[in-house]
A and B are shown apart, each in its own frame.
Chain A
Amino acid sequence: MHPRTRKALTSIFSDGFLLIYFLFALFPIVWMILVSLKSTNELFTTQFVFTPTLENYQAIIFGDPRAAAGVVARVDFPRNFLNSLIVSSGAVVVSLLVGVPAAYALARYNFKGKDTLAFTFLSFRFAPELVVIIPLSLIYRQLGLYDTYFGIIWVYQLVTLPLLIWVLRSYFEDISPDVEQAAMIDGYPWHQIFMKILLPLVRPGLAAAALLAFVFAWNNFIFPLVLGASNVQTVTVSALGYISSAQAFFNRMAAAAVIASVPQMMLALSIQRYLIRGLSFGAVKG
Chain B
Amino acid sequence: MATKQVSATDFAVPEEVVKPPWLVRMRPFLIALPALLILIGILYPFVVGVAYSFTAYAFTRPNTAFVGLRQYQRMVEDSDFLYSTFITLAYAISATGVQLLLGLIVATLLNRDSRIAKILQTTLIFPMMVAPVISTLIWKMMMQPSVGILNPMLNAIGLPSLQWAAVPETALFSVVLVDVWMYTPFAALILLAGLRSFPQGPFEAARVDGASFWFTFRNLTLPMLTPFILIVIIFRFMDSLKMFDIIFAMTEGGPGSTLMTYQLTAYRTSIQFQRLAQGLPYAIVLYFVIYFVSQYLVKWWGRAQRRAAGYS
Contact = CB atoms under 8 A, between A and B. Distances in A.
Interface of A: 11, 14-15, 17-19, 21-22, 24-26, 28-29, 31-32, 35, 43-44, 46, 94, 97-99, 101-102, 104-106, 108-109, 111, 114, 117, 120-121, 123-124, 126-139, 154-155, 157-158, 161, 165, 190, 215, 218-222, 226, 235-236, 239-240, 243, 248, 250, 253-254, 257, 260-261, 264-265, 267-269, 272, 275-276, 279-280, 283-286
Interface of B: 27-29, 31-32, 34-39, 41-46, 48-49, 52, 57, 59, 102, 105-106, 109-110, 112, 114, 116-117, 120, 122-135, 137-142, 144, 146-147, 149, 152, 181, 184-186, 189-190, 193-194, 196, 228, 231, 235, 238-239, 241-242, 244-245, 248-249, 262-263, 266-267, 270-271, 276, 279-280, 282-284, 286-287, 290-291, 294, 301
Nearest to B59: A138
23 contacts: A18-B110, A21-B102, A25-B184, A43-B147, A44-B146, A98-B35, A101-B35, A102-B35, A109-B27, A126-B239, A126-B294, A128-B262, A134-B271, A157-B42, A219-B130, A221-B132, A221-B244, A254-B138, A257-B135, A260-B134, A268-B128, A275-B125, A276-B193
Given A239-B134, A239-B137, A130 B283 contact: yes
Contacts of B120: 18-19, 22
A188 B44 CA distance: 39
A42 to B, nearest CB: 10
Contacts of A137: 270-271, 276
Question: Which among B44, B116, B152 has the greatest number of chain A C-beta atoms within 10 A?
Answer: B116
B122 A269 contact: yes
A280 B231 contact: yes
Contacts, number: 274
B270 A130 contact: yes
Contacts of A31: 138, 142, 149
The listed residue with most A CB atoms (<10 A of its CB), out of B106, B129, B196, B283, is: B129
Contact of B39 (A14, A121, A215, A240): A121
A27 to B, nearest CB: 8
Contacts of B48: 135, 138-139
Contact of A284 (B41, B109, B130, B190): B190
Contacts of A17: 105, 109
A118 B33 CA distance: 13
B245 A131 contact: no
B139 to A, nearest CB: 6
Contact of B130 (A19, A220, A261): A261
Contacts of B282: 130
A154 B34 CA distance: 13
Nearest to A120: B39
B290 A117 contact: no
B286 to A, nearest CB: 5
A266 to B, nearest CB: 9
A151 to B, nearest CB: 11
Nearest to B269: A134
Nearest to A281: B235
